[in-house]
Amino acid sequence: MRSFIFNNDRISNVYKGLLNVLCVYIFYSLISILVRVYHFHDTKSITDWIYSILSFQANGYSWYVNMYIGIFLLILFLNLIFNGLNTRKERHILILTFLLLSGVPNFVNVLPVLINESRILYFPDWWAGIYPLTYFFIGCYIREYRPKVNKPFALLSFVFIILVETFLCYYYSDNGPFVDAVGYYGPLMIIASSVLFFIIFYDIDIKNKVLSSIFGTLGGLTLDIFLASFISDLLVYEYIRNNVFESQFQIIYYFVPIIGTILMISIAMSLIRKYSTWLLKCNSS
């Protein structure tokens, strides 16, 4: 949904933003390497670690930065595609086309629908990997038309989709190892829940200055928080495995405190990175 911000942005701002993203990525890659070496005793050579940074493997969530670079380089041309369409209907067709190419196959082909242990569903998936562009054009659409939704209904729809996703994963796991029956970031249901979550909150006008400042700060640290969560994931889940874990289904009862702890650690790390960078700039000037 980053396109909600960058649609119609100037070329200098776009490429300056890319440089900032790369700096943030290198910072968390280095922190990840330190944690993996000194806490988890990961033994790699210096050249291996350098390669892991260049190949987006030092931080387990840096695939996003790898993808992000391409989006940044394409963003001006993607905007030309979207803005070159003259009517709302044409833009609907554009989004529906991308949903058909990415959202449907990423859902249908992951869902383990079997008859006599043989899969029976398949949808052409050559273009399934372009789901980031699906999100991009949806973000452009929301920015352009600022759709208003019935927020209680949108919230109920969001909760309903999450419950369906949860049921599918639970059902197909069948008291065994966890089965991801819904898919990654590209399936139709994930796209729907992501868009609903965004449009529920994107146009809320926060009057309280303190809350507005808090959310504004966190909004500018979403990439930080995401990359930092790889480190907090490693640390928190190590503790859970060693001290709490008994079974796959038992762990669901600890879902809220686990996610809350990971989020708080990630936010703390992102704030430390933000303000340490600010202090360095102040000292250098």
DSSP string, 135-182: HHHHHHHHHHH-----HHHHHHHHHHHHHHHHHHHHHHHTTSS----S
Burial profile 142-169: b = 16 or more Cβ within 10 angstroms, e = fewer: bbeeeeeeeeeebeebbeebeeebeebe
- Report yes or no: 224 and 269 within 8 Å, Cβ to Cβ: yes
Q: Please, what is the average pLDDT of the chain?
A: 87
- Which of 112-116, 148-152, 182-186, 198-202 is predicted with the least confidence, judged by mean pLDDT? 112-116
CA distance 67 to 185: 13
260-275 average pLDDT score: 94
Structure-token pair, residue 15:
């490429």
CA distance 184 to 180: 8
197-203 average pLDDT score: 91
Answer whether residue 75 shows pLDDT above 90. Answer: no
Tell me: the pLDDT tens digits for 6-23? 555 556 666 677 888 999
Comparing 120 with 10, which gets the higher pLDDT?
120
- Which of 86-90, 177-181, 216-220, 270-274 is predicted with the least confidence, judged by mean pLDDT? 177-181
Q: What percent of the chain has pLDDT over 90?
A: 57
Tell me: the pLDDT tens digits for 226-256? 999 999 999 999 999 898 877 766 777 888 8
Residues 6+ apart with CB under 8 A from 202: 4, 142
Q: In the prediction, which pLDDT does 7 show?
A: 53
Comparing 140 with 169, which gets the higher pLDDT?
140
Structure-token pair, residue 279:
């202090």
CA distance 273 to 35: 16
Q: In this structure, which amino acid lies at residue 89? A: K
Q: What percent of the chain has pLDDT over 70?
A: 89
Q: In the prediction, which pLDDT does 141 show?
A: 95
- The residue extents of the domains of the chain are 209-285
Answer whether residue 151 shows pLDDT above 80. Answer: yes
- Which of 30-44, 135-149, 205-219 is predicted with the least confidence, judged by mean pLDDT? 205-219
- Listed residue (74, 8, 61, 69) closest to 31, CA to CA: 61
- Listed residue (282, 222, 272, 202) closest to 20, CA to CA: 222
- Report yes or no: 29 and 53 within 8 Å, Cβ to Cβ: yes
pTM of this structure: 0.84
Q: In the prediction, which pLDDT does 113 show?
A: 65
Answer whether residue 99 shows pLDDT above 90. Answer: yes
pLDDT band at 216; cut points 50, 70, 90: confident
Answer whether residue 61 shows pLDDT above 80. Answer: yes
pLDDT band at 2; cut points 50, 70, 90: low
